Chain A
């Protein structure tokens, strides 16, 4: 099913969006250029995700929520072609970045991942590298040359909210930082290659509440410049940090998108009763 804006669709079809396709209400010009059209995902014979169409608004935080096994992490990994690294993984449908199908023939996956970066669940700075080397590691990997490394390192660490804490020990090992600091270092590392979209897969699930709060602040600041898509198990986190939410659910079969809307609406007056039950903690 093809995605379109809500207003267009109501005009053309005269009904509310179906439960497998959702479009976030937004002004047309703020579209981030990333959208999925009818994507499915499989692991071997296991159909994990079914027919998800979603557009992401630019310079906002979109939270992907839902109980375990609903396919939200799978969906996230489809957005920058990390899905294909799992043996036996398959997909259908299209993921479009500025109109280009990223799974199309001849598309350089590495180039896509430069534009759509990713931060993982556990903080994972490269252990053999210093803080500074960690920040610029992406540039080395992608063979990008830069004129002023010092500026870049400061800029990325500042945006990740870590600069003040580490500016005097940039040559210390990344592993010498606390868990929360390590995760902010990972964010800085992702920012160095200047992605348009940053995908975050439960970035706070391994952190204490204090560190979580710091990361959430960082995420909100990041969204002033780039588009963030974050998977979270934590309803409070979704309500604190996201502007838009997409609710995924599996009824025993493949996970599907139930609805997507502004976070405030999702938490106060969702269209689907299952969304209401989930955000109120009645299941999941």
Chain B
């Protein structure tokens, strides 16, 4: 006698009505933010599309941005120098931010007295939430003076290195100073993320370092820094995402200048956000379209950086 093969039965997970309602609410919440993001992207692209089709790649690489109000004279829109400026200023900012944030986070987490630690943590999280405009204004007051001194020092001593080379001696309105202001703006958020990641280092791993005859610095080097590595990278990228789109600091410091420049002490430069802020008020219809297109490029850039950052942070928390 042959035994009939087992027949698979269908199974269904049945959700109660309450479950369904709740699921609907949270799904709607999640979707709303996605939809808003999508709509912003679509709006920027839609309004700027004409510029993309008209100028093509030249919009990204071109170095001339001239809008004429008089009919008959052709407009020209190329945002290349602003893109490069965005990246340069952001790199300068990160150069200051990353070491400062790591050191600050390690101090708060491992060296500060418990009470100091509590206060600093609260202050830091608060600082990370302060609008960038406030930081920008403060930074400009401070760094056009201090940063100028640092910049002139760099220019005088290291002027033989091309990027520090400069012909003018007006350092106060240079990408270097803008980068300093930006750094003061993103240090809190980066430090905050770094501290958070360091604080999740398993206590047992740190104890093990001590139990093996290690010092505190040994434990930090062996366990804490490797553990927090990708978290800090993620935090820096989040800061960078902020830096890329930062308007005020750069707008107030830099003289907009449409030339590719890598001389970070020269009094020229700019970034995409400051371009938009500078030109928006008096823009013609056509220039407005071009500015919106520039906004779309910046939108993509920031979105990309943030996506990479969150991917890195997710990877840390998983391991």
A residues sitting closer than 8 Å to B (CB atoms) are 80, 82, 85, 87, 109-111, 113-114, 117-118, 120-122, 124, 126-128, 137-138, 140-142, 186, 189-190, 193
B residues sitting closer than 8 Å to A (CB atoms) are 114, 202, 204-205, 207-215, 218-219, 222-223, 226-227, 319
Contact of A120 among B208, B214, B319 (CB under 8 A): B208
Do A137 and B211 have beta carbons less than 8 Å apart? no
Do A140 and B211 have beta carbons less than 8 Å apart? no
Do B208 and A113 have beta carbons less than 8 Å apart? no
Do A85 and B207 have beta carbons less than 8 Å apart? yes
Do A117 and B207 have beta carbons less than 8 Å apart? no
In the bound complex, CA of A110 to CA of B222 (Å) = 15
Do A190 and B227 have beta carbons less than 8 Å apart? no
Number of A-B contacts (CB under 8 A): 71
Other A-B pairs beyond A82-B211, A189-B208, A190-B211, 13, CB < 8 Å:
A85-B210, A113-B210, A118-B208, A120-B208, A124-B205, A127-B226, A127-B227, A138-B213, A141-B209, A141-B213, A141-B214, A141-B218, A141-B219
Collect the chain A residues with CB atoms within 8 Å of residue B215's CB. 110, 141
Which of B213, B219, B222, B319 neighbours the largest number of chain A CB atoms within 10 Å of its CB? B213
- Tell me the nearest residue of chain B to A112, going by C-beta: B213
Do B222 and A140 have beta carbons less than 8 Å apart? yes
In the bound complex, CA of A140 to CA of B114 (Å) = 29
In the bound complex, CA of A189 to CA of B212 (Å) = 8
A129 → chain B closest CB, angstroms: 8
Q: Can you list 16 contacts pairing A with B, beta carbon distance less than 8 Å?
A: A80-B211, A111-B213, A114-B213, A117-B212, A118-B211, A120-B211, A124-B202, A124-B205, A126-B208, A126-B223, A128-B227, A140-B222, A141-B212, A141-B218, A142-B212, A186-B208
CB-based closest 9 A-B pairs:
A141-B214, A138-B212, A114-B213, A118-B211, A142-B213, A128-B226, A141-B218, A124-B204, A110-B213
Collect the chain A residues with CB atoms within 8 Å of residue B202's CB. 124
Given contacts A137-B222, A141-B218, A141-B222, is CB(A113)–CB(B207) below 8 Å?
A: no
B129 → chain A closest CB, angstroms: 28
Collect the chain B residues with CB atoms within 8 Å of residue A87's CB. 114
Collect the chain A residues with CB atoms within 8 Å of residue B218's CB. 140-142
Collect the chain A residues with CB atoms within 8 Å of residue B223's CB. 126
Collect the chain A residues with CB atoms within 8 Å of residue B210's CB. 82, 85, 109-110, 113
- Tell me the nearest residue of chain A to B223, going by C-beta: A126
Collect the chain A residues with CB atoms within 8 Å of residue B213's CB. 110-111, 113-114, 138, 141-142, 193
Collect the chain B residues with CB atoms within 8 Å of residue A189's CB. 208, 212
Given contacts A82-B207, A124-B204, A127-B227, is CB(A142)–CB(B222) below 8 Å?
A: no
Collect the chain A residues with CB atoms within 8 Å of residue B209's CB. 141
- Tell me the nearest residue of chain A to B202, going by C-beta: A124
Given contacts A127-B319, A128-B226, is CB(A120)–CB(B212) below 8 Å?
A: no
In the bound complex, CA of A32 to CA of B222 (Å) = 31
